[in-house]
Amino acid sequence: MPPAPRAAALAAALLVLGTGTGCSLLAAPDTRTPGNPRPIPPKQVVLAAAQAMDDAGGARIEVVQEGPGGRRTASGTLVWGARDEGELAVTDEAGTGRLALKDGEIDLAYQGGAAKHADRSTAESLDPGAAPGPDGYAGGWMTALISTPGNRAYAIAQNVPLGSLGGEQLAGMTVAHYQGTAAVDEFFGTDQELSPQRRSATVDWYRRHGVTAIGFDVWVGPGERLLRLRETVRGSAGTTVTTTDVPSIGTGDPTPSEGG
């Protein structure tokens, strides 16, 4: 799996933020986050959560996408670092299937059908709504399934001006909720993991679908634990919301759940 999530850059960013704000990362977040007398900048909290997720080496994820095209779900485990593996049960307009990731190679097979193959750079071609061929962008569903939550949280923290919505209840605990919006050009324009061609194709997809900005939400719990990520896209066809929950972390065997 690619550097997850850009460990050297992330550590440097955390160091700069820690010295610049005078706030201890140990204080962000904890059960006192709502009303904490020492507020922690949202960017700092999310970067710390991204680093903690990276250090965990794996996580169980549950992804739900709802929009004009219907409802899609996926659940299973991703493992990164020394191992690059994943197994997800998926359900979408093409049916129920299983996505397997191994050393950057991806196979997606639906019940009764032959497996379709791609690698990280062509993962979007596996989307049921993708145009023929391996190139281009199809809305980011497949990219979300094979991206580590820490990598995505890092990208949000670095490219999205985040504000705090205070504390709320999630997964039986009080957590911090952060929210922000970024222009499509700005969010993807600085992504150095995309080739110039893929970056152009991605931005072009959003433009063609009438999307100028993307909304992001991040939920962080006690112990700098990343619990949920959400992406909201409003365009000419309507609104699509993709939510990724992280119910558990660790490097267990990548075994998908039954039923997706």
Instruction: Please write the tens of the pLDDT for every residue from 186-235.
Output: 999 877 778 888 888 899 999 999 999 999 999 999 999 999 999 999 99
Report pLDDT for 37: 52
- Say if residue 2 is preceded by a cis peptide, omega within 30 of 0: no
Give, as one character, the DSSP assignment of residue 2. -
Angle between helix 42-56 and helix 7-21 axes, rounded to 10 deg: 140
Residue 44, H or E segment: helix 42-56
Strand partners, 76: 61, 88
Q: Which residue has the tokens 């365009």?
A: 235
Residue 47 contacts residue 23 (beta carbons within 8 Å): no
Spell out the residues 6+ positions from residue 226 whose beta carbon is closer than 8 angstroms to its own. 49, 50, 52, 53, 149, 150, 153, 218, 219, 220, 246
Residue 249 contacts residue 257 (beta carbons within 8 Å): no
Residues in the chain with pLDDT values less than 70: 1-38, 251-260
Residue 223 contacts residue 52 (beta carbons within 8 Å): yes
pTM: 0.84
Residue 229 contacts residue 243 (beta carbons within 8 Å): yes
Report pLDDT for 131: 86
Report pLDDT for 9: 53
Q: Give the number of other Cβ atoms within 10 Å of residue 192's Cβ.
A: 8
Spell out the residues 6+ positions from residue 26 whose beta carbon is closer than 8 angstroms to its own. none
Report pLDDT for 205: 94
